[in-house]
Amino acid sequence: MKIIDTAIPDVKIIEPQVFDDARGFFYESFNQARFEKAIGRNVSFVQDNHSYSLHGVLRGLHYQLSPRSQGKLVRCVIGEVFDVAVDIRKSSPTFGHSVSTMLSANNHRQLWIPEGFAHGFLVLSEAAEFIYKTTEYWDPQLERTILWSSAGIEWPEFSELKLSIKDAGAPPLAQAELPE
């Protein structure tokens, strides 16, 4: 397992060791001891999510307020997405900065997004299946969205964007209710 640092120290790209053979491949998609060593702290995941999205779907930018702020370990198991984590911790020196990376079924990469970040992704392939673990349960009362285009992210070019009604009508970062 290789850990790749990003421009925001708390956000890590994780590249598992993939064992290929004549049958296909095998890899450990999650190993708690190795993961905790890699990010330098203990975590406990309580929920796994799986979404399927068509080309041009953009989900995000999503986060939850305290006390249900979620850390997320995300990956794409079919297709390819452009994945983004935006630092929205008010006291952070990198507030408003983001980390983006391609996650795909081919590169097997995972992105660790700690609590205090907004997260989103854009589907670049014909379709994509996205799987992630979260450190807190979903809480619709504390869930918030920031408008995808308001956080200075350089999204890849797209022809037709598919957004949920909630995401299309989200407030810009400058007006969003932020976590502490």
Ligand X SMILES: Cc1cn([C@H]2C[C@H](O)[C@@H](COP(=O)(O)OP(=O)(O)O[C@H]3O[C@@H](C)C(=O)[C@@H](O)[C@H]3O)O2)c(=O)[nH]c1=O
Residues in the site for ligand X, rule: CB under 6 A?
Answer: 49, 51, 59-60, 62, 72, 119-121, 138, 164
* Identity of the residue, 34 or 178, whose beta carbon is nearer to ligand X in the bound complex: 178
How far is CA 176 from its chain centroid? Answer: 19
How is residue 173 annotated by DSSP?
G
DSSP labels for 2-63? EEEE-SSTT-EEEEPPPEEETTEEE--S--HHHHHHHHTS-----EEEEEEEETTBEEEEEE
Q: Are 117 and 88 in contact (CB under 8 A)?
A: yes
Compute the least distance from the CB of residue 113 to ligand X, in Å.
8
Compute the least distance from the CB of residue 129 to ligand X, in Å.
12
Known catalytic membership, residue 132: yes
Among residues 50, 62, 97, 137, the one annotated as catalytic is 62
Residue nearest to ligand X (CB): 138
* Identity of the residue, 32 or 51, whose beta carbon is nearer to ligand X in the bound complex: 51
Which residues are catalytic, by number?
A: 62, 132
